[in-house]
Amino acid sequence: MHHIRPLLPTEHAFMREMFYTSFFVPEGHEPFPREIIDRPDLAKYIIDWGSGKHDLALVAERANEPLGLVWGRCFSEANKGYGFVDASTPEIGIAIREESRGQGLGTALIRAIQQKYLDQGVRRISLSTNKLNPARQLYVRMGFKIVAEKEDALTMLWQDS
């Protein structure tokens, strides 16, 4: 059985690992170099974590072992994320360790972050995903709808009904 809890301030290395894990690599392509997460257009997703009003990160764990992470952050018009909708809509990222996929952790993490944001009065969440990413099916199942397409990327939005 898994448990979902807030990310601890001491778990920045786990957040970095999950951020890197969240990058979709199409079949037959080489993985990205690990340093990619330090590029300014990407590092902004996790740098200075906890400093933003809607910075929120939740860990799925089993037997005290972290298995996955979902995190969300708001961006400004001047510093947009890839799944930017507007400055009041947090953009989320999610990653599950490969050996723990297919066990319902992604569903549980998305449900949990949706509820936490609702508790804060936030009624919309966005994300960006590759059109070929199999996780896209999970996002649709969780109520996300495509609101923009650009080359091989989709921006998806969940809105409380």
How far from 23 is each of 19, 34, 100, 128, CA to CA, in Å?
A: 7, 10, 16, 11
**Token couple for 43:** 């590092």
Joined together, the tokens standing for residue 135 give 């996780």
Write out the two tokens for 118: 């609702």
94-119 tens-digit pLDDT: 999 999 999 999 999 999 999 999 99
Enter the pTM of the model.
Answer: 0.95
The alpha helices in 33-127, defined as continuous H runs, are 40-43, 105-119
Torsion of Cα atoms, 39 then 44 then 47 then 48, to 10°: 150
55: left (phi over 0), alpha (psi -120 to 50) or beta: beta
**Residue-level pLDDT at 63:** 94
Average pLDDT, 10 consecutive residues per value, the chain (161 residues): 94 97 94 96 95 96 96 96 97 96 95 98 97 95 97 96 83
Pairing of strands 56-62, 3-6: antiparallel
